[in-house]
C-alpha cells in the first residue's frame, strides 16, 4: 500500500510517499513544493495544485493523508494555507483517492506515542521508522512523512471502526 502524506502550506507543501507492507514502512520519495514569496496568490495556488497532480501521477499513491490545520493567530496566513490545502485536496479527490485527515496531536500520538511530543521527537521517530540517515529538511517534509506514518498506523483500525459504526 502506498501512502502520500501532506503537510499543507502556501510557501512550502511538504510531501512524503511511503510503502506499507505488513508492519514494514519504506520511504519512496519525499520533498516539498515551494512557491515564491510576493507572487500573486492565484499563481502560487496553481503551482501547488499542478505540483500535487504531477506527484500523484508519478508515484501513484492508494491514499492521501493530510495534516489538519491549526492556527491561533494570523488569519491572513490561515486563509492562504487553507486555500493551498484545498487545492491539494482537490488534486487528490480528482484522482479518486481516499483522503484522511489528522490533527497534529493525532500525528504525534501515532508516531511518538505522546500527543504533546516535541517536534524534534517526532522527526527522530520518523527517521527511525523509515530507516533514514538523517531527518528530512525542511521541517515540512519531516512533518509530511510523519502524517504518512500516522496514517499507516491508523488506517486499519479506522477502517474497522467505520465498518462497525455503519452497522
Measured CA to CA, the distance from residue 101 to residue 67 in angstroms comes to 6
Among residues 67, 118, 139, 143, the one annotated as catalytic is 67
Cα–Cα dist 41/30, whole Å: 25
Q: Is 101 a catalytic residue?
A: no
- Which residues, other chains included, contact 64 with Cβ-Cβ below 8 Å and sequence gap of 6+? 3, 4, 5, 6, 56, 92, 97, 98, 99, 100
Phi/psi of residue 12, nearest 5 degrees? -135, 125
CA dist., res. 97 & res. 55, Å (int) = 13
143 annotated to bind ligand: no
Among 50, 118, 140, 143, the active-site one is 140
The answer to whether the CB of 6 falls within 8 A of the CB of 69 is no
Rounded to an integer, what distance in angstroms lies between the CA atom of residue 11 and that of residue 81? 8
Q: Is 139 annotated as a binding residue?
A: no
Annotated catalytic residue 140: yes
Look up 139 and say whether it is catalytic.
no
DSSP class of residue 116 equals T
Q: Is 67 annotated as a binding residue?
A: yes
Annotated binding site for Mg(2+): 7, 67, 140
Positions marked catalytic: 7, 67, 140
Annotated binding site: 7, 67, 140
Amino acid at each position: 500500500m502506498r501512502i502520500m502524506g501532506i503537510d499543507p502550506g502556501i510557501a512550502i507543501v511538504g510531501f512524503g510517499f511511503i510503502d506499507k507492507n505488513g508492519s514494514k514502512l519504506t520511504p519512496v520519495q519525499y520533498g516539498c513544493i515551494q512557491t515564491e514569496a510576493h507572487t500573486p496568490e492565484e499563481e502560487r495556488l496553481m503551482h501547488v495544485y499542478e505540483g500535487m497532480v504531477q506527484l500523484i501521477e508519478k508515484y501513484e499513491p492508494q491514499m492521501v493523508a493530510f495534516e489538519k490545520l491549526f492556527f491561533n493567530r494570523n488569519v491572513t496566513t490561515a486563509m492562504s494555507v487553507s486555500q493551498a490545502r484545498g487545492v491539494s485536496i482537490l488534486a487528490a479527490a480528482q484522482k479518486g483517492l481516499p483522503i484522511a485527515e489528522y490533527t497534529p496531536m493525532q500525528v504525534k500520538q501515532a508516531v511518538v506515542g505522546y500527543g504533546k511530543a516535541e517536534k524534534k521527537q517526532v522527526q527522530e521517530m520518523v527517521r527511525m521508522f523509515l530507516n533514514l540517515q538523517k531527518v528530512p529538511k525542511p521541517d515540512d517534509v519531516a512533518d509530511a512523512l510523519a502524517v504518512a506514518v500516522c496514517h499507516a498506523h491508523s488506517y486499519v483500525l479506522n477502517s474497522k471502526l467505520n465498518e462497525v459504526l455503519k452497522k
